Structure 1
Amino acid sequence: MAPYLYGFCRLVFGTLYPAYASYKAVRTKNVKEYVKWMMYWIVFALFLCVETFSDVFISWLPFYYEVKIVFVLWLLSPITKGSSFLFKKFVHPQLAKREKDIDEMIIQASKQGYSTLVKLSSRGISYATNVFMKTALTVSSVIYIFNLDII
Protein backbone atom coordinates (compact mmCIF):
# COMPACT_ATOMS: atom_id res chain seq x y z
CA MET A 1 0.00 0.00 0.00
CA ALA A 2 2.80 2.42 0.90
CA PRO A 3 4.44 2.32 -2.57
CA TYR A 4 1.12 3.28 -4.19
CA LEU A 5 0.51 6.08 -1.71
CA TYR A 6 4.05 7.32 -2.29
CA GLY A 7 3.54 7.20 -6.07
CA PHE A 8 0.37 9.26 -5.72
CA CYS A 9 2.06 11.79 -3.41
CA ARG A 10 5.08 12.07 -5.70
CA LEU A 11 2.80 12.66 -8.67
CA VAL A 12 0.60 15.26 -7.01
CA PHE A 13 2.97 17.00 -4.59
CA GLY A 14 6.27 16.33 -6.32
CA THR A 15 5.24 16.97 -9.92
CA LEU A 16 1.77 18.39 -10.63
CA TYR A 17 1.60 21.12 -7.98
CA PRO A 18 5.19 22.31 -8.66
CA ALA A 19 4.49 22.29 -12.40
CA TYR A 20 1.44 24.49 -11.92
CA ALA A 21 3.31 26.80 -9.54
CA SER A 22 6.13 27.03 -12.10
CA TYR A 23 3.58 27.93 -14.75
CA LYS A 24 2.22 30.68 -12.50
CA ALA A 25 5.77 32.00 -11.93
CA VAL A 26 6.38 32.12 -15.69
CA ARG A 27 3.01 33.73 -16.37
CA THR A 28 3.49 36.45 -13.77
CA LYS A 29 7.18 36.89 -14.68
CA ASN A 30 8.14 36.82 -11.00
CA VAL A 31 11.92 36.27 -11.01
CA LYS A 32 12.03 35.30 -7.34
CA GLU A 33 9.52 32.52 -8.01
CA TYR A 34 11.44 31.48 -11.16
CA VAL A 35 14.56 30.94 -9.09
CA LYS A 36 12.67 29.12 -6.35
CA TRP A 37 11.07 26.67 -8.77
CA MET A 38 14.23 26.15 -10.80
CA MET A 39 16.04 25.15 -7.60
CA TYR A 40 13.14 22.82 -6.78
CA TRP A 41 13.22 21.11 -10.20
CA ILE A 42 16.99 20.62 -10.10
CA VAL A 43 16.86 19.07 -6.62
CA PHE A 44 13.79 16.98 -7.49
CA ALA A 45 15.48 15.65 -10.66
CA LEU A 46 18.54 14.63 -8.64
CA PHE A 47 16.26 13.03 -6.05
CA LEU A 48 14.54 10.98 -8.78
CA CYS A 49 17.92 9.82 -10.10
CA VAL A 50 19.06 8.73 -6.63
CA GLU A 51 15.67 7.18 -5.90
CA THR A 52 15.85 5.03 -9.02
CA PHE A 53 18.92 3.25 -7.70
CA SER A 54 18.15 3.38 -3.97
CA ASP A 55 14.77 1.69 -4.43
CA VAL A 56 16.51 -1.43 -5.67
CA PHE A 57 18.70 -1.72 -2.58
CA ILE A 58 16.83 -0.21 0.37
CA SER A 59 13.10 -0.29 -0.42
CA TRP A 60 12.76 -3.21 2.01
CA LEU A 61 13.51 -0.92 5.00
CA PRO A 62 10.55 -0.24 7.28
CA PHE A 63 8.86 3.11 6.61
CA TYR A 64 10.99 3.66 3.50
CA TYR A 65 8.09 5.00 1.42
CA GLU A 66 6.71 7.03 4.30
CA VAL A 67 10.10 8.74 4.69
CA LYS A 68 10.10 9.50 0.97
CA ILE A 69 6.63 11.06 1.24
CA VAL A 70 7.82 13.28 4.07
CA PHE A 71 10.95 14.17 2.07
CA VAL A 72 8.92 15.25 -1.00
CA LEU A 73 6.67 17.37 1.22
CA TRP A 74 9.76 18.84 2.93
CA LEU A 75 11.25 19.77 -0.46
CA LEU A 76 8.04 21.51 -1.44
CA SER A 77 7.16 23.26 1.80
CA PRO A 78 7.46 27.07 1.80
CA ILE A 79 8.07 26.89 5.55
CA THR A 80 11.07 24.54 5.42
CA LYS A 81 12.29 25.60 1.96
CA GLY A 82 13.88 22.17 1.67
CA SER A 83 14.73 22.33 -2.01
CA SER A 84 16.32 25.78 -1.64
CA PHE A 85 18.34 24.57 1.34
CA LEU A 86 19.63 21.47 -0.47
CA PHE A 87 20.36 23.43 -3.63
CA LYS A 88 22.32 26.17 -1.86
CA LYS A 89 24.11 23.89 0.60
CA PHE A 90 24.99 20.90 -1.57
CA VAL A 91 23.92 20.97 -5.22
CA HIS A 92 25.18 24.40 -6.29
CA PRO A 93 28.66 24.05 -4.75
CA GLN A 94 29.12 20.60 -6.31
CA LEU A 95 27.87 21.66 -9.74
CA ALA A 96 29.98 24.83 -9.65
CA LYS A 97 33.10 22.74 -8.95
CA ARG A 98 32.37 20.28 -11.74
CA GLU A 99 30.67 22.51 -14.30
CA LYS A 100 33.51 22.47 -16.87
CA ASP A 101 33.88 18.69 -16.64
CA ILE A 102 30.13 18.19 -17.03
CA ASP A 103 30.02 20.54 -20.03
CA GLU A 104 32.88 18.64 -21.68
CA MET A 105 31.16 15.30 -21.09
CA ILE A 106 27.94 16.64 -22.61
CA ILE A 107 29.82 17.90 -25.68
CA GLN A 108 31.59 14.54 -26.09
CA ALA A 109 28.35 12.64 -25.63
CA SER A 110 26.57 14.77 -28.22
CA LYS A 111 29.42 14.27 -30.72
CA GLN A 112 29.46 10.53 -30.10
CA GLY A 113 25.67 10.44 -30.23
CA TYR A 114 25.67 12.13 -33.63
CA SER A 115 28.35 9.83 -35.07
CA THR A 116 26.52 6.81 -33.63
CA LEU A 117 23.26 8.02 -35.17
CA VAL A 118 24.92 8.41 -38.58
CA LYS A 119 26.51 4.96 -38.31
CA LEU A 120 23.26 3.28 -37.24
CA SER A 121 21.30 5.12 -39.93
CA SER A 122 23.67 3.93 -42.65
CA ARG A 123 23.47 0.37 -41.31
CA GLY A 124 19.68 0.59 -41.27
CA ILE A 125 19.53 1.86 -44.82
CA SER A 126 21.94 -0.86 -45.94
CA TYR A 127 19.87 -3.52 -44.18
CA ALA A 128 16.61 -2.22 -45.67
CA THR A 129 18.19 -2.15 -49.14
CA ASN A 130 19.39 -5.74 -48.77
CA VAL A 131 15.98 -6.92 -47.60
CA PHE A 132 14.28 -5.11 -50.48
CA MET A 133 16.71 -6.57 -53.03
CA LYS A 134 16.37 -10.13 -51.65
CA THR A 135 12.58 -9.80 -51.68
CA ALA A 136 12.62 -8.46 -55.24
CA LEU A 137 14.92 -11.27 -56.40
CA THR A 138 12.77 -13.89 -54.67
CA VAL A 139 9.58 -12.56 -56.24
CA SER A 140 11.19 -12.39 -59.68
CA SER A 141 12.52 -15.94 -59.25
CA VAL A 142 9.05 -17.21 -58.32
CA ILE A 143 7.59 -15.44 -61.34
CA TYR A 144 10.25 -16.97 -63.61
CA ILE A 145 10.05 -20.49 -62.13
CA PHE A 146 6.27 -20.70 -62.31
CA ASN A 147 6.16 -18.77 -65.53
CA LEU A 148 3.53 -16.46 -64.15
CA ASP A 149 2.17 -13.87 -66.50
CA ILE A 150 1.54 -10.96 -64.10
CA ILE A 151 1.92 -8.10 -66.52
Structure 2
Amino acid sequence: MLGSLLTRCLIMSFGYAYPAFECYKIVEKNRVEIEELRFWCQYWIIVAALTVLERLGDVFVAWLPMYGEAKVAIFIYLWYPKTRGSGYIYKTLLRPYVSKHETDIDRKILEMRARAWDLTVFYWQNFAQYGQTAFFQFLNYMAAQSSKMTKATAEPVNVQSNGSAASTKPNGASKDD
Protein backbone atom coordinates (compact mmCIF):
# COMPACT_ATOMS: atom_id res chain seq x y z
CA MET A 1 0.00 0.00 0.00
CA LEU A 2 2.67 2.50 0.99
CA GLY A 3 4.84 1.37 -1.92
CA SER A 4 1.99 1.99 -4.33
CA LEU A 5 1.38 5.45 -2.91
CA LEU A 6 5.08 6.28 -3.08
CA THR A 7 5.27 5.00 -6.66
CA ARG A 8 2.30 7.13 -7.69
CA CYS A 9 3.86 10.19 -6.11
CA LEU A 10 7.14 9.51 -7.93
CA ILE A 11 5.35 9.03 -11.24
CA MET A 12 3.44 12.27 -10.75
CA SER A 13 6.63 14.11 -9.84
CA PHE A 14 9.10 12.64 -12.33
CA GLY A 15 6.69 11.72 -15.11
CA TYR A 16 4.46 14.79 -15.19
CA ALA A 17 5.37 17.67 -12.86
CA TYR A 18 9.10 17.96 -13.60
CA PRO A 19 8.72 17.58 -17.40
CA ALA A 20 5.83 20.05 -17.40
CA PHE A 21 8.00 22.58 -15.56
CA GLU A 22 10.85 22.03 -18.01
CA CYS A 23 8.41 22.59 -20.89
CA TYR A 24 7.21 25.75 -19.24
CA LYS A 25 10.79 27.04 -18.99
CA ILE A 26 11.43 26.24 -22.66
CA VAL A 27 8.23 27.94 -23.83
CA GLU A 28 8.84 31.03 -21.71
CA LYS A 29 12.40 31.59 -22.94
CA ASN A 30 12.86 34.67 -25.03
CA ARG A 31 14.61 32.61 -27.68
CA VAL A 32 13.30 29.06 -27.95
CA GLU A 33 15.59 26.48 -29.48
CA ILE A 34 13.65 24.23 -31.81
CA GLU A 35 15.54 21.10 -30.74
CA GLU A 36 14.58 21.54 -27.11
CA LEU A 37 10.97 22.15 -28.05
CA ARG A 38 10.98 19.13 -30.37
CA PHE A 39 12.43 16.97 -27.58
CA TRP A 40 9.68 17.93 -25.12
CA CYS A 41 6.97 17.52 -27.73
CA GLN A 42 8.29 14.03 -28.44
CA TYR A 43 8.30 13.32 -24.71
CA TRP A 44 4.66 14.33 -24.29
CA ILE A 45 3.60 12.37 -27.37
CA ILE A 46 5.22 9.24 -25.95
CA VAL A 47 3.77 9.84 -22.49
CA ALA A 48 0.30 10.22 -24.01
CA ALA A 49 0.73 7.00 -26.00
CA LEU A 50 2.00 5.14 -22.93
CA THR A 51 -0.92 6.42 -20.87
CA VAL A 52 -3.43 5.17 -23.45
CA LEU A 53 -1.70 1.79 -23.72
CA GLU A 54 -1.47 1.53 -19.95
CA ARG A 55 -5.20 2.13 -19.54
CA LEU A 56 -5.94 -0.57 -22.08
CA GLY A 57 -3.43 -3.13 -20.82
CA ASP A 58 -3.17 -2.29 -17.13
CA VAL A 59 -5.18 -5.36 -16.15
CA PHE A 60 -2.66 -7.66 -17.79
CA VAL A 61 0.59 -6.14 -16.52
CA ALA A 62 -0.22 -4.27 -13.29
CA TRP A 63 0.15 -7.41 -11.21
CA LEU A 64 3.80 -7.86 -12.25
CA PRO A 65 6.32 -7.27 -9.47
CA MET A 66 8.07 -3.90 -9.66
CA TYR A 67 5.57 -2.64 -12.27
CA GLY A 68 5.25 0.80 -10.68
CA GLU A 69 8.98 1.13 -10.24
CA ALA A 70 9.50 0.20 -13.89
CA LYS A 71 7.10 2.97 -14.91
CA VAL A 72 9.10 5.48 -12.87
CA ALA A 73 12.30 4.25 -14.52
CA ILE A 74 10.76 4.57 -18.00
CA PHE A 75 9.64 8.14 -17.33
CA ILE A 76 13.08 9.11 -16.08
CA TYR A 77 14.72 7.35 -19.05
CA LEU A 78 12.56 9.38 -21.42
CA TRP A 79 13.67 12.80 -20.16
CA TYR A 80 17.01 12.22 -18.43
CA PRO A 81 19.62 14.47 -20.11
CA LYS A 82 22.21 11.72 -20.66
CA THR A 83 19.79 9.19 -22.18
CA ARG A 84 17.08 11.40 -23.72
CA GLY A 85 15.17 8.24 -24.45
CA SER A 86 12.13 9.99 -25.86
CA GLY A 87 14.08 10.95 -28.99
CA TYR A 88 15.22 7.37 -29.50
CA ILE A 89 11.80 5.81 -28.91
CA TYR A 90 10.11 8.42 -31.06
CA LYS A 91 12.49 7.92 -34.00
CA THR A 92 12.75 4.12 -33.85
CA LEU A 93 9.28 3.01 -32.73
CA LEU A 94 6.59 5.65 -32.80
CA ARG A 95 7.35 7.68 -35.92
CA PRO A 96 7.73 4.71 -38.30
CA TYR A 97 4.53 3.11 -37.03
CA VAL A 98 2.43 6.28 -37.11
CA SER A 99 3.73 7.41 -40.50
CA LYS A 100 2.93 3.98 -41.96
CA HIS A 101 -0.63 3.98 -40.55
CA GLU A 102 -1.38 7.72 -40.55
CA THR A 103 -4.16 7.60 -43.15
CA ASP A 104 -5.84 4.68 -41.38
CA ILE A 105 -5.61 6.49 -38.04
CA ASP A 106 -7.10 9.67 -39.55
CA ARG A 107 -9.94 7.67 -41.12
CA LYS A 108 -10.69 5.88 -37.83
CA ILE A 109 -10.71 9.17 -35.94
CA LEU A 110 -13.17 10.67 -38.44
CA GLU A 111 -15.37 7.56 -38.18
CA MET A 112 -15.30 7.67 -34.39
CA ARG A 113 -16.12 11.40 -34.45
CA ALA A 114 -19.10 10.75 -36.75
CA ARG A 115 -20.28 7.86 -34.56
CA ALA A 116 -19.93 9.96 -31.45
CA TRP A 117 -21.99 12.73 -33.05
CA ASP A 118 -24.66 10.26 -34.19
CA LEU A 119 -24.76 8.74 -30.71
CA THR A 120 -25.02 12.18 -29.13
CA VAL A 121 -27.91 13.14 -31.40
CA PHE A 122 -29.64 9.80 -30.75
CA TYR A 123 -29.43 10.18 -26.97
CA TRP A 124 -30.41 13.85 -27.13
CA GLN A 125 -33.53 12.97 -29.11
CA ASN A 126 -34.41 10.18 -26.68
CA PHE A 127 -33.82 12.50 -23.74
CA ALA A 128 -35.97 15.21 -25.30
CA GLN A 129 -38.76 12.74 -26.06
CA TYR A 130 -38.63 11.33 -22.54
CA GLY A 131 -38.62 14.85 -21.09
CA GLN A 132 -41.60 15.84 -23.22
CA THR A 133 -43.54 12.74 -22.19
CA ALA A 134 -42.75 13.29 -18.52
CA PHE A 135 -43.72 16.96 -18.80
CA PHE A 136 -47.10 16.13 -20.37
CA GLN A 137 -47.73 13.43 -17.77
CA PHE A 138 -47.00 16.00 -15.08
CA LEU A 139 -49.41 18.47 -16.69
CA ASN A 140 -52.12 15.80 -16.91
CA TYR A 141 -51.56 14.91 -13.26
CA MET A 142 -51.79 18.56 -12.24
CA ALA A 143 -54.95 19.02 -14.33
CA ALA A 144 -56.51 15.95 -12.71
CA GLN A 145 -55.63 17.23 -9.24
CA SER A 146 -57.04 20.65 -10.13
CA SER A 147 -60.34 19.17 -11.34
CA LYS A 148 -60.63 17.12 -8.12
CA MET A 149 -60.11 20.28 -6.09
CA THR A 150 -62.73 22.24 -8.06
CA LYS A 151 -65.27 19.38 -7.75
CA ALA A 152 -64.73 19.24 -4.00
CA THR A 153 -65.25 22.98 -3.60
CA ALA A 154 -68.14 23.10 -6.09
CA GLU A 155 -70.42 20.69 -4.18
CA PRO A 156 -73.58 22.61 -3.25
CA VAL A 157 -74.21 23.19 0.40
CA ASN A 158 -77.86 23.19 1.62
CA VAL A 159 -78.79 24.98 4.78
CA GLN A 160 -81.32 22.98 6.75
CA SER A 161 -83.99 24.50 8.91
CA ASN A 162 -82.18 23.59 12.12
CA GLY A 163 -79.17 25.77 11.07
CA SER A 164 -76.74 22.94 10.22
CA ALA A 165 -75.21 22.68 6.78
CA ALA A 166 -75.42 19.52 4.74
CA SER A 167 -73.90 18.87 1.37
CA THR A 168 -76.01 17.35 -1.33
CA LYS A 169 -74.71 14.35 -3.19
CA PRO A 170 -75.36 14.13 -6.91
CA ASN A 171 -78.19 11.60 -6.54
CA GLY A 172 -80.13 14.02 -4.34
CA ALA A 173 -79.55 12.19 -1.04
CA SER A 174 -78.37 14.27 1.86
CA LYS A 175 -75.16 13.66 3.76
CA ASP A 176 -77.07 12.52 6.85
CA ASP A 177 -78.74 9.53 5.08
Q: Tell me the TM-score normalized by structure 2.
A: 0.77
**Gap regions ≥5 residues in structure 2:** 154-177
* Higher gyration radius (CA): 2
Q: Does residue 35 of structure 1 match 2:35? A: no
Tell me the residue number matched to 1:21: 22
Larger relative CO (CA 8 A, sep 6+): 1 or 2? 1
- State whether residues 43 and 87 of structure 2, in contact with CA within 8 Å, keep that contact through their aligned partners in structure 1: yes
Tell me the residue number matched to 2:92: 89
The one of 111, 115, 118 equivalent to 2:118 is: 115
Q: CA RMSD in A?
A: 1.7
Q: Does residue 50 of structure 1 match 2:53? A: yes
Between the two proteins, the alignment pairs up a number of residues equal to 149
Tell me the residue number matched to 2:101: 98
Deviates more, 1:40-49 or 1:63-72: 63-72
Give runs of ≥4 in structure 1 deviating > 6 Å: none
SS of residue in 1 equivalent to 2:82: coil
Q: Distance in 2 between matches of 1:116 and 1:54?
A: 26
Q: Which has the higher helix share?
A: 1
Deviates more, 1:24-33 or 1:84-93: 24-33
Q: How much has 1:26 moved relative to structure 2?
A: 2.1
- State whether residues 40 and 84 of structure 1, in contact with CA within 8 Å, keep that contact through their aligned partners in structure 2: yes
Letter of the 1:94 partner, please give it: Y
Tell me the residue number matched to 1:11: 12
**Gap regions ≥5 residues in structure 1:** none
The one of 61, 66, 69 equivalent to 1:63 is: 66
- State whether residues 7 and 68 of structure 2, in contact with CA within 8 Å, keep that contact through their aligned partners in structure 1: yes
Q: Distance in 2 between matches of 1:144 and 1:31?
A: 77
Q: Distance in 1 between matches of 2:48 and 2:35?
A: 20
> Share of identical aligned residues, percent?
28
